[in-house]
Chains A and B, each alone.
Chain A
């Protein structure tokens, strides 16, 4: 525990004691494609935070359409390695919470027999990227290949015909652990 606290204090110290000019706001915005065993679909992401030397950390969110639309909210950390003046390779990790979108399929007049409730789960992402600087500033095109892992739970209640309330209701639950390869193309600075 003491070691963890020490490392955290060290990192904070590094950020705050570093030359102020070197800490700056950075953003990464991606459109991506997810491919897995159950679905192939799109994702949109924006990550906003600070960069320091070769490091970038930020808070991200977006929309992930893989199997079921959801909104992940996560913290991302990245480390870059320079290839030449214009090109970098970077390694990225992210962890957060995956919030499933309400399924409108369960919410209409005719689907009276089923209701669905979802619970958020873990969101993980890891990848390796290729960054090409464009222009004179730090503007860059980003291409990333990664792995996306999102979790959520769903409870489905089915009501059966009856004249006397409460009608019999059966409840079943689904536990989702969804894994997909992600290819993302983005722009950042």
Chain B
């Protein structure tokens, strides 16, 4: 009898103590509340406002002596770049939900969440709103679970940290089956585009070729007739599958980057792009540029595209109907890229900026690497390399192909 007393007491103790015990887990997250304005108010504020600090730089567009720098989801910084060693932030155009920019003549095109807005920039320092086209980018939902409203636009978010108890449902299974809700949830110097149209970075989703503008959203390629630049008319829409990311014009072709490959569209008939070729690659984010017989595609992981490849793919596109991989080069986290003559510039994420001699595309060689900056996208034009990085907008002189000389930096102020 005594032999079973001790084990019995132990078992009773376990169950008594277990009922008294409770894990204490807290979950801290940020609650966001949208700030709305009417469309009329937002359109009225699409004008040249006082310059503001650069906080979250996005895509870039070079037009004449001006750099248009996207402030992600906020608008566009207008920067006078007459002297690249001393760029001046002149004005800021408020465009909520803005990511992309394109310019032709006196007209700037920008996305405003799912809409396309047309802005008159005859005087780049005194711009004004001209026109809006609804639901051009239907997949562009607001962040944080909010969706576009027909009359109101989200212009800001109020954030507040909140801590709440976190419950784990009792189970005899493993933890990863129990934690419900734990995870929520370039341009080339040889670009065919004329200077009057401007030059976009390789991450662009807008592209202008002569009197047509092409826009890609997640699944479609849309063509706009912009012969009358202030009154664009959508003339065509082509379904392309999913994961469409970037667009790059070269000669009478459009090179389109998607998360699973590169598509080549012929625009001999500019209003009706026709698919001519395709190159498939592993799933990854992939801006693409082209030059001569070769296309350069950077594949990177780590953001939203998934996959496991961080490489530069050089693809032979001399036969556009059947592009062939020439060679893959291992990178760290390559994103935007630009080409000028034989020089290839690659924004390799946290590995900085890399300059390659690409005179032999099958054997490119690293000439110069600038570390200590996290780079996203670049435009190379007239011996001036404009680079968007996490901490600012850099400009370098690449006239000496052996090195890169920094001219200026506009710092981010978070």
* Interface set of A (CB-CB < 8 Å, partner B): 35-40, 67-68, 105, 109-110, 112-114, 130, 143, 145, 147, 156, 158-168, 170-181, 183
Question: How far is A68 from B166 in the complex, measured between Cα atoms in Å?
Answer: 15
Which residues does chain B contribute within 8 Å of A130, judged by CB atoms?
6
Which residue, B14, B25, B70, B303, has most C-beta atoms of chain A within 10 A? B303
Chain A nearest CB from B74 CB (Å) reads: 13
Q: Contact at A163–B14, with CB atoms within 8 Å?
A: no
Chain A nearest CB from B401 CB (Å) reads: 27
Chain B nearest CB from A59 CB (Å) reads: 27
1/0 per residue B390-406: CB within 8 Å of A? 10000000000000000
Chain B nearest CB from A40 CB (Å) reads: 6
Q: Contact at B306–A35, with CB atoms within 8 Å?
A: no
Chain A nearest CB from B262 CB (Å) reads: 15
Question: How far is A177 from B40 in the complex, measured between Cα atoms in Å?
Answer: 51
Which residues does chain B contribute within 8 Å of A166, judged by CB atoms?
56, 303, 376, 390
Which residues does chain B contribute within 8 Å of A164, judged by CB atoms?
58-59, 70, 72, 99, 203, 376-377
Chain B nearest CB from A66 CB (Å) reads: 9
1/0 per residue B176-201: CB within 8 Å of A? 10100011110000000000000000
Q: Which of B1-59 contact A (CB under 8 A)?
A: 6, 10, 13-14, 17-18, 21-30, 56, 58-59
Which residues does chain B contribute within 8 Å of A67, judged by CB atoms?
23, 168, 175
Which residues does chain A contribute within 8 Å of B170, judged by CB atoms?
37-39
Q: Contact at B99–A179, with CB atoms within 8 Å?
A: no
Chain B nearest CB from A41 CB (Å) reads: 9
Q: Known contacts A145-B10, A145-B13, A163-B203: does B25 contact A175 (CB below 8 Å)?
A: yes
Q: Known contacts A37-B22, A145-B13: does B182 contact A174 (CB below 8 Å)?
A: yes
1/0 per residue B261-291: CB within 8 Å of A? 0000000000000000000000001000000
Size of the B side of the interface (Cβ < 8 Å), in residues, is 53
Q: Contact at B306–A112, with CB atoms within 8 Å?
A: yes
B341 close to A (CB within 8 Å): no
Nearest B residue to A168 via CB reads: B143
Q: Contact at A177–B23, with CB atoms within 8 Å?
A: yes
Which residues does chain A contribute within 8 Å of B301, judged by CB atoms?
109, 112
Q: Which of A160, A168, A174, A179 contacts B166 (CB 8 A)?
A: A174
Q: Contact at B23–A163, with CB atoms within 8 Å?
A: no
B246 close to A (CB within 8 Å): yes
Which residue, A130, A156, A164, A168, has most C-beta atoms of chain B within 10 A? A164
- List 13 additional contacts besides A112-B301, A156-B182; criterion CB under 8 Å: A37-B170, A38-B168, A112-B305, A114-B183, A147-B21, A158-B183, A159-B302, A159-B303, A162-B99, A172-B27, A177-B25, A179-B22, A183-B10
Q: Contact at A40–B172, with CB atoms within 8 Å?
A: yes
Question: How far is A40 from B307 in the complex, measured between Cα atoms in Å?
Answer: 36
Nearest B residue to A112 via CB reads: B306
Question: How far is A101 from B254 in the complex, measured between Cα atoms in Å?
Answer: 48
Question: How far is A162 from B304 in the complex, measured between Cα atoms in Å?
Answer: 6
Question: How far is A95 from B404 in the complex, measured between Cα atoms in Å?
Answer: 56
Q: Contact at B303–A175, with CB atoms within 8 Å?
A: no
Nearest B residue to A175 via CB reads: B26
B363 close to A (CB within 8 Å): no
Question: How far is A41 from B245 in the complex, measured between Cα atoms in Å?
Answer: 46
Which residues does chain B contribute within 8 Å of A177, judged by CB atoms?
23-25
Q: Which of A37, A68, A178, A181 contacts B14 (CB 8 A)?
A: A181
Q: Which of B184, B246, B335 contacts A165 (CB 8 A)?
A: B335
Question: How far is A175 from B178 in the complex, measured between Cα atoms in Å?
Answer: 16
Chain A nearest CB from B27 CB (Å) reads: 6
1/0 per residue B295-339: CB within 8 Å of A? 000000111111110000000000000000000000000010000
Question: How far is A172 from B215 in the complex, measured between Cα atoms in Å?
Answer: 35
Question: How far is A172 from B162 in the complex, measured between Cα atoms in Å?
Answer: 10
Q: Which of A37, A163, A175 contacts B21 (CB 8 A)?
A: A37
Nearest A residue to B308 via CB reads: A109
13 contacts between A and B (CB under 8 A): A38-B170, A68-B175, A143-B10, A162-B99, A162-B303, A163-B205, A164-B58, A164-B72, A165-B349, A172-B27, A173-B27, A177-B24, A181-B14
